[in-house]
Structure 1
Amino acid sequence: MYYIEDLGLNPLQLILIGTAIELTVIVFESVTGVVADTYSRRLSIIIATFILGAAFLFEGSIPYLSNSSVAVGVLSAFVLLLFAEFIRGIGETFLSGAEQAWLTDEVEEEEVAKIFVRTNQLRLIASLVGIIISVVLASVALNLPYLAGGALYILLGVFLCIYMKEKNFERVETAKDRPWKAMASTFISGVTFIKNKPVLIMLLVVTVFIGATSEGFDRLWEAHLLEAFTFPSFGSLDVVVWFGVIQFMGTLISIGAMEWYQRRFDVNQPKVIRYSLFYFTVGQVIFLILFAVTPSFYLAIFCFWVLGIIGSITAPMYQAWLNQQLESKSRATVLSIMGQGNAVGQGLGGPFVGVIATRYYIRTALVLGAMLLLPAVILYGKVMKR
């Protein structure tokens, strides 16, 4: 809403904003992953929180910067937003890989799947509070949630500096005397590890197609609802509040679905993880297409909620399965390389979907985005059969 209403971005510009952050990830992801494996996962996470805080504070300040600039207008706001997303992308690379690697090393690998699922539940519960606060702040000004979020990231960084521990990480011996050699050795170790494990190569390919699909949907679902539907009128309910209600209910449903699923199935079992990833990805393709083509506002919202459930269950399972395949000394590096694969998918698939959405229809772009997920379905199917 902030990008569309306040900054006036069109569908292609929305996608290009995503492309900017993904290009940053492609360039810096492996470097920051190597830093985490060579020096400290804790340090990498703390650096990430401060950079992310600065990025969101800058992004929320764009309306003030644009108004005070000589070059006023959509173009100047768009350029400033690109720069803000570049800063955010660097922060994301410091966090990506390091967070999962730190957690996996601090606990037993066999238990990490359940912990990832529970962590995701806690994240969603916290986001419920965030949605409520964001709706209240956005009702005053659409940029206020960004400013508040940036301030919270800074406070989180201070909290982690004081309380975050790291007990099971061993720093590379040559990191202090020969830092470049140590980092190069860590990177080569990670690449070699991937090359020697076919399942990791398969997961790398899968994550490219997942990235290509997610970029289009993440950047265009709000624009699709605004373009394709007239929001039902309930008193003086503002569109911003509508989006808050949609996300709040979707998050609440996802929390319940995750709790039911982990109680019904042993999510630490590799077989459960493999079957879940296959069938949920098939469901994702179906509901993405239905979300794009349905003429019913309420059915579109239902599909959005189902897609949220699928994402909330499959994301921690994918993380757990991936972490269970890795060795500790290069864990963050390999996870970062996987993150680069996702960024490549988003960087290549995003602009393609954005051009289609701008030149034709957002519906058409969303359907094509769903089709990009079919190779992932095929690869998951092959793994499941084996």
Structure 2
Amino acid sequence: MVLDATKVYMIKRFTTSLANTTMFTTYAIYYITALGLNPFELLLIGMVLELAVLLFESVTGVVADTYSRKLSVIIGMFVIGTGFAMQGIIPALEGMVPFIPVMFWVLLAQVFYGVGDTFVSGADTAWIVDEVGEEKIGTIFMSGKRYALLATLLGIALSVGLSTLAPNLPYLVGGILYLLLGVFLSLFMKETTFTRKPREEGASHFKEMATTWLSGAKVIRSQPILFLILLVTLFTGAASEGYDRLWEANLISEIGFPLVGTLSLPMWFGMIAAVSALLSLVAVGIAEKRLDVNNERVVVVGMFVLTGLKIAAVISFALAPSFEWALACLLMIGVIEALSSPLYDTWLNLNIESSVRATILSMMSQSNALGQTAGGPVVGWIGHRLSIRASLVVAGILLTPILVVFGRVLRKR
């Protein structure tokens, strides 16, 4: 069977979204109620993950540009799958070696996840952009988001069902899905446009990779727009770590759920995720039809508006006086993030040359990781000393510099 690049990319987006949703829809229940982690430990998990990304991102991005985007993606799938599967068997590991604390296994799994993600980050995007061409990437990324949202709906049901049986099962199944995807990509992912750079006579592998990295850094220095994108990524990372790690804890500990029949925590989180995915699916469908997502100015204006709305929604969620208010904010944030992701990817790739695409994309991910590594502990400390609500307010405030950057980009355009 022959599959073209677009189909392989959509299958990859669908499967990774299915695996991630299966794990992350109810992960807070696993971490908070089963493993007993507190807000600071939740942020520490994120910090270790992002530190792994920060340390390995440049190296793995250079591997993709120097040797093979396909190879980099496949390696990443197997490493990520191993990390997630490890989290799924923590109860068994705890029973076999009770003298090793649970937190050690959780953090070790995060290292696997972070390192694996650096192999995929940048390489998968660089691969599909080169295979289909820059003139189609806006449409490709929007379609990929639609496939991911469809998988989200399936993953939510799977997550709730598995979590009801045992809170660790979603991670085990998610890890297996990543491993199976690695096998699939090994068989069907073709690399037709990438050409490995000829090695200079006598040059070592290290020198090859260093040359590629320096080429990417030179491109960023020579193009002010890429430096501005770097700033956006940095502050996005600083803000997202606090919100991503603490919104469930805010619902569980600060706001609480209404008593409706026999609805359990997994069911509540499943319903919230399902409604968010459905609304996002509608929003992405409208954007595909109404917006010229291949036009850079349209993309930047869209991100400016969405960032302003997200700041308001995150702060409003932090200060929500009731469950209904918090739910409305959560759904709004979900739609905003669904629209922002493909727009950001399009904006970034329209400003990068092919030869160093994966390297620069990895540098952007490294900037995001730096923001999360630096901002996460601060936001977590505020939550530990004051309240989770205070942490979320700070997370919203950390997004405000991005508005200034987008405003400057629009004035220059």
User: Does the alignment reach a TM-score above 0.5?
Assistant: yes
CA distance in 2, matches of 1:381, 1:78: 43
CA distance in 1, matches of 2:326, 2:128: 36
CA distance in 2, matches of 1:325, 1:229: 43
Q: CA deviation at 1:175?
A: 8.2
Runs of 4+ in 1 over 2 A off after TM superposition: 175-178
After superposition, residues 7-86 of structure 1 pair within 5 angstroms as: 7-71=35-99, 76-86=101-111
CA distance in 2, matches of 1:65, 1:317: 42
After superposition, residues 136-175 of structure 1 pair within 5 angstroms as: 136-174=161-199
CA distance in 2, matches of 1:367, 1:67: 39
Q: Look up the match of 1:230.
A: 256
CA distance in 2, matches of 1:141, 1:173: 52
CA distance in 1, matches of 2:200, 2:293: 37
Q: Look up the match of 2:138.
A: 113
Deviations 1:96-152 (A, max 9, x none): 000110011001201101111110110111121111111100001110000001111
Q: Look up the match of 2:7.
A: none
Task: Decide whether the 8 Å contact of 1:39 with 1:175 is kept in 2.
Answer: no
> What amino acid sits opposite 2:332 in the alignment?
V
Identity %: 45
CA distance in 2, matches of 1:120, 1:48: 20
Q: CA deviation at 1:229?
A: 2.2
CA distance in 1, matches of 2:250, 2:95: 29
Which moved further from structure 2: 260-269 or 9-18? Answer: 260-269
After superposition, residues 116-127 of structure 1 pair within 5 angstroms as: 116-127=141-152
The answer to whether residue 323 in structure 2 is matched with residue 312 in structure 1 is no
Q: Look up the match of 2:384.
A: 358
2:155 corresponds, among 130, 140, 153, to 130
Q: What 5-or-longer segments of structure 2 have no aligned partner?
A: 1-28
Deviations 1:253-284 (A, max 9, x none): 10111111221111111110010011110101
Q: CA deviation at 1:68?
A: 2.3
> What amino acid sits opposite 1:143 in the alignment?
N
Q: What 5-or-longer segments of structure 1 have no aligned partner?
A: none
> What amino acid sits opposite 1:205 in the alignment?
L
Q: Note closer, same or farther for the CA distance 1:143–1:70 as it changes in structure 2 (3 Å cut).
A: closer
2:219 corresponds, among 193, 196, 203, to 193
CA distance in 1, matches of 2:119, 2:282: 31
CA RMSD of aligned residues (A): 1.2
Q: CA deviation at 1:235?
A: 1.5
Deviations 1:275-333 (A, max 9, x none): 00111101010000001101120121111111111111111111111111111110000
Query: TM-score normalised to the size of structure 2?
Result: 0.91
Q: Note closer, same or farther for the CA distance 1:175–1:11 as it changes in structure 2 (3 Å cut).
A: farther
CA distance in 2, matches of 1:329, 1:83: 34
The answer to whether residue 405 in structure 2 is matched with residue 379 in structure 1 is yes
1:247 corresponds, among 267, 273, 285, to 273
Q: Look up the match of 1:290.
A: 316
Q: CA deviation at 1:230?
A: 2.7
* 1:173 counterpart SS class: coil
Task: Decide whether the 8 Å contact of 1:38 with 1:175 is kept in 2.
Answer: no
Q: CA deviation at 1:51?
A: 0.5
Q: CA deviation at 1:233?
A: 2.0
Q: Look up the match of 2:24.
A: none
CA distance in 1, matches of 2:366, 2:186: 27
Q: CA deviation at 1:252?
A: 1.1
Q: Look up the match of 1:90.
A: 115
Task: Decide whether the 8 Å contact of 1:49 with 1:153 is kept in 2.
Answer: yes
